[in-house]
A and B are shown apart, each in its own frame.
Chain A
């Protein structure tokens, strides 16, 4: 019996072709030996041509690359929201809501530190439910309190209104950021669980994977440097771990013992294998990149198992995001004249 509809097949194939067009490993390796103008020319010849051409007159050097990458990412995400049918659209939008958090926090942080609106705008990625017009309106506001008021109709408002006063007082938005992400995950889990929509189970599987990896990253980060904050606040519920597991894992002093415990909770074979390899590893940057890679590999596997579901869309969205991150890291690294080996460590390939 035919269980998938034609629009699903259409969109998933488009995502697959787009994914195939992303830059392969060899291209990154070649770019490591290029200068900024060469990198600009190189990405102009790939998928970023339109943005580089459009922005070429207004920006130059590293700023041109940065803005072109952000624009391209936003355009790409908007386009996918347009072509995705029914449930896929709903899930894609739910996934992309994280950019709202990022954009709003960027604006709040920038404003709090007195950064010029134009500078803040350069790094916004209007891919979520708040489009560039709305973000422009926020940027035009003088005070952060007014921005929060403008967000009254948005689903982020309750958390923002609650967390903002203390963030303003302390000058640190990290607590607010954690709360917003927690709310975000809670909501998308609820969306995925509401049984009325077909394909919710596969979306849920992805969210759980992401939360697991996120919590693992947080744990590794906590080990790398000590923090005053309550670790329970940093935990994102919804994955394999419970908050108590999280706290007790964080309390383990010995690295190997910690990894063994984490491994016992790991759901996938790939993650267990990686954790085994990580024993004795110290560089937090390296650990994070490898965890991300495992997440992407696992998502790839899921997208092959469910070829016409939300997974191929999500894999593309994530891979595109990392392509943009990689190119940005590359350009920034080149700008600060870091050696190629150092930059390569930061790339998720």
Chain B
């Protein structure tokens, strides 16, 4: 109660509803940025691995399993992004 009395209120020209809506919007933007950027990161990483994997499989079919495994390892990056997005949105 005392603290509330000391902190001066600042007029930002917004109603409480507007501020709440902005906060939700910012969260959505944050989640989008998290998934989007990590997606690009994954894509860059998978580009090299994927083309090498296709090359290796073209020469030797036995490598398919391992090649696929290596190709999807950078997916972890986008999964981190997804987790962060979910945390931002729902927690």
Q: Is the interface of B mostly helix, strand, loop or mixed?
A: helix
Let me know if A18 and B59 touch, CB within 8 A. Answer: yes
Q: Are B59 and A17 closer than 8 Å at their CB atoms?
A: yes
Check: B56 CB closer than 8 A to any chain A CB.
Answer: yes
Contact check, A2 vs B59: say whether CB atoms are below 8 A apart: no
Across the interface, which residues of A come within 8 angstroms of B58, CB to CB?
A: 14
Which stretch from A5-13, A267-275, A341-349 is at the chain B interface?
A5-13
Is A153 in contact with chain B by the CB < 8 A criterion? no
A4 at the interface (CB under 8 A from B): yes
Pair B51/A10 contact, Cβ less than 8 Å: yes
Nearest CB in chain A: distance from B87 CB, A: 29
From B44, B47, B59, contact of A14 by CB (8 A) = B59
B44 lies within 8 A of A13 (CB): no
B59 touches A6 (CB 8 A): no
Q: In the bound complex, how far is the Cα of B59 from the Cα of A18, in angstroms? A: 7
Tally of contact residues, B, Cβ under 8 A: 14
Q: Is the CB–CB distance between B47 and A13 below 8 Å?
A: no
Q: State A21–B39 Cα separation when bound (angstroms).
A: 36
Contact between B51 and A17 (Cβ–Cβ < 8 Å)?
no
Is B18 close to A, CB under 8 A?
Answer: no
Contact call B56/A9, Cβ cutoff below 8 A = no
Would A14 and B55 count as touching, CB distance under 8 A? yes
The reply to whether B60 and A6 form a contact with Cβ atoms under 8 Å apart is: no
Contact indicator A10/B47 (Cβ below 8 Å): no
User: Which residues of chain A have a CB within 8 Å of any CB of chain B?
Assistant: 2, 4, 6-7, 9-14, 17-18, 21
- Return 20 A-B CB contacts under 8 Å, by A number: A2-B48, A4-B48, A6-B47, A6-B48, A6-B50, A6-B51, A7-B51, A9-B47, A9-B52, A10-B52, A11-B55, A13-B51, A13-B52, A13-B53, A13-B56, A14-B55, A14-B59, A17-B55, A17-B60, A17-B63
| A-B CB proximity, top 8 nearest | A13-B55, A17-B59, A6-B51, A10-B51, A9-B51, A13-B52, A10-B55, A14-B55
Given contacts A13-B52, A14-B58, 12 further A-B contacts (CB under 8 A): A2-B47, A2-B48, A9-B51, A9-B55, A10-B55, A11-B55, A13-B55, A14-B59, A17-B55, A17-B56, A18-B59, A21-B60
